[in-house]
């Protein structure tokens, strides 16, 4: 089992920044990749960014490229999502997820079904 706890969400004005944290505990050594997803009211959960736990590969959705950066600290078992130049359309609940299967193609980590563990989510609200 892997437990994930997100934090760092909040209310920010458009153009501002936030840094999300995902603290992992439990069988963290079984995690191969970590991902961030988001879900706005009335919409499906969508992929934001992913990173291999080794840190060698990252992947981000086109909608956040150049604005969001995913990173991880292996010693702290923590994954980060640095969000800059936030827009009102970034408003959503942000979820951290852990995948325990290796896939060579990073595209596979854009799929919700790839992840077996999820956090409870943290709310991000961007005002215009």
Q: What pLDDT is recorded for position 20?
A: 98
Q: What pLDDT is recorded for position 70?
A: 97
Q: What pLDDT is recorded for position 55?
A: 76
* Spans of the chain, pLDDT less than 70: none
Q: In degrees, to the nearest 5, what angle opens at C-alpha 27 toward C-alphas 48 and 79? A: 30
pLDDT (tens digit per residue) in 8-41: 999 999 999 999 999 999 887 778 999 999 999 9
Q: What pLDDT is recorded for position 9?
A: 97
Distance CA 93, CA 85 (A): 18
Q: What pLDDT is recorded for position 48?
A: 98
């Amino acid at each position: 089992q892997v437990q994930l706890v997100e934090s760092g969400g909040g209310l920010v004005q458009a153009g501002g920044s936030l840094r999300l944290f995902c603290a992992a505990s439990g069988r963290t050594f079984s995690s191969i990749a970590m991902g961030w997803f988001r879900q706005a009211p009335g919409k499906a959960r969508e992929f934001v960014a992913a990173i291999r736990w080794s840190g060698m590969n990252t992947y981000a959705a086109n909608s956040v490229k150049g604005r969001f950066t995913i990173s991880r600290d292996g010693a702290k078992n923590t994954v980060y999502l640095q969000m800059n130049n936030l827009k009102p359309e970034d408003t959503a609940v942000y979820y951290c997820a852990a995948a325990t299967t290796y896939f060579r193609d990073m595209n596979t980590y854009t799929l919700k079904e790839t992840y077996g563990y999820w956090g409870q989510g943290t709310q991000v609200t961007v005002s215009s």
